[in-house]
Chain A
């Protein structure tokens, strides 16, 4: 039987429903039109074989909630169940508050969005500076109180963020060192100056690459871990529990992580420099016919200030990575999705900041003639 709807004219226009008024026929039902549905005085459902919410929705759209509510009780041939369904739908729609939100797009929304982005960037910077200040103040108040130093937490974080990262940092820098050496060899061979490959690798890793690669790895590995650890504590209301018990989350969670990175990143940087130079050495010895003794002699001639310049950046990167990781963790808002977003954001932000600061430092060192 086809699903139809007819309006029988007369002194009391009657809406006659036929067939299955169900979800499966929704499209067909929606296409039905009658002239002037407002005049309908009665509903005849004697030939109605099935009805569900979808069918009720069609009727609702045709007649409106109020009208459907008035007509349903006197409808012909409507079983008690179907009557209850129609009434429930009509009641619910009539009672529902009708303040539909206006979500159309207007001219200037793009500009507003840009403004919001700028504002949010500014607020993020302010939040970071606030957090930095808070952490430094907490650190200063802790300095004269050694009995409140969290040595266990500090050592645990150093283990996780520092010691466990040594193999990956060393391997990565070794490989990049070899790549830089190959690159140098390829370019410098044309000038007959392959011997300068050694200087290239040594200078690059001492001044820039060692600290940069170590910091980027730490940003990916540790900033995300910090954000996830603190964020999951936030989701679990553990941070609130700390606060209620009169303990400072900064003191317990942030300071050990910050100090752990401050101690381990310079060490990791040194490891990175050694591994990079070792990578260069392998390539030089195996493909450039430079003996190991000669290689080491050239490396030793590099002024030590370059290594110190490289190492001097490590503490700054450590502070940035630790604080961004922790702050993003604190920004987590209740849901697992937010935790994921914040963890991603911690990695992106800390890598961005590390590279930005490194670029500024390079400019500064160059202008200073260091």
Chain B
């Protein structure tokens, strides 16, 4: 389903906090319809990269193209229109705590699509079903949800406007292995159904092996390599070698092989 059209194009990105340079001359292409996993050690700026692309942070230098448009020089109104075509799942869900799950999902529909509350709720209920939540979860408040339900509910909110690109920040962190595996499957199902492009920041090796088409490794302030998993795993770099051929990496790779058989 992937095509050669780069839907996200990052060129020469530089980010720094004070004297701490996080990214220097970073380039990355993400193609339409793929699930790309972004990995890297702690502090290599995975989340910073995500925040730069979705526009939560203005980079020190560089170019960020979404849908072929330069996000940094685009006028605010056109930029806001493009931003409606992306959905973000934050690490802790970031559901609005004073709204129920249903209201959380309806909110962007009411605000941006101009629907009435009743109409928005109908669509929101479908999104709730799509993300595998039970119907009675709709009227719960975020504080009443378990970790896995929070992730699903905020995924439903990220999908509210049928985005083209979905950004996920460590979606399986804090989930039990069964919940995490179910989430990986859900991601693949939704990608196929919505023809989504998924930008996935993760530490979860199982997710990389089961869900990702390509893997980008952040190291030494740039994208060291971005390619299919088997190519990346055999790249000659100490960190990459330790990452994919350490005990956890081997276990995840074996588990993925078993799945394929």
* Chain B residues within CB distance 8 Å of chain A: 97-98, 109, 113, 115, 119, 122-123, 126-130, 132-136, 139, 143, 159, 161-162, 189-190, 192-195
Contacts and interface: CB of A to CB of B under 8 A. Distances in A.
A52 B192 CA distance: 13
Minimum-distance CB pairs A-B, first 9: A88-B193, A92-B129, A52-B162, A96-B129, A92-B130, A85-B193, A84-B193, A93-B129, A57-B126
Interface string A24-51: 1011001000000000000000000000
Contact of A89 (B126, B136, B139, B143): B126
A23 interface: yes
A81 B128 CA distance: 20
B123 A97 contact: no
A54 B135 contact: no
A100 interface: yes
Interface of A: 22-24, 26-27, 30, 52-54, 56-57, 60-61, 81, 84-85, 87-89, 92-93, 95-101, 103, 333-338
Contact of A53 (B97, B98, B119, B126): B126
Contacts of A87: 193
Given A84-B192, A85-B194, A61 B134 contact: no
A53 B127 contact: yes
Contact of A335 (B119, B136, B143): B143
A26 B123 contact: yes
A27 B116 CA distance: 9
A97 B138 CA distance: 12
A60 B119 contact: no
A205 to B, nearest CB: 43
Contacts of A335: 97, 143
A56 B122 CA distance: 11
Contacts of A96: 128-129, 133-135
Contacts of A336: 97
A88 B132 CA distance: 11
Contacts of A24: 113
19 contacts: A23-B123, A52-B162, A53-B126, A53-B130, A53-B159, A57-B122, A57-B126, A61-B122, A81-B193, A85-B194, A87-B193, A88-B130, A88-B190, A89-B193, A93-B129, A97-B134, A100-B136, A101-B136, A101-B139
Contacts of A53: 123, 126-127, 130, 159, 162, 194
B123 A54 contact: yes
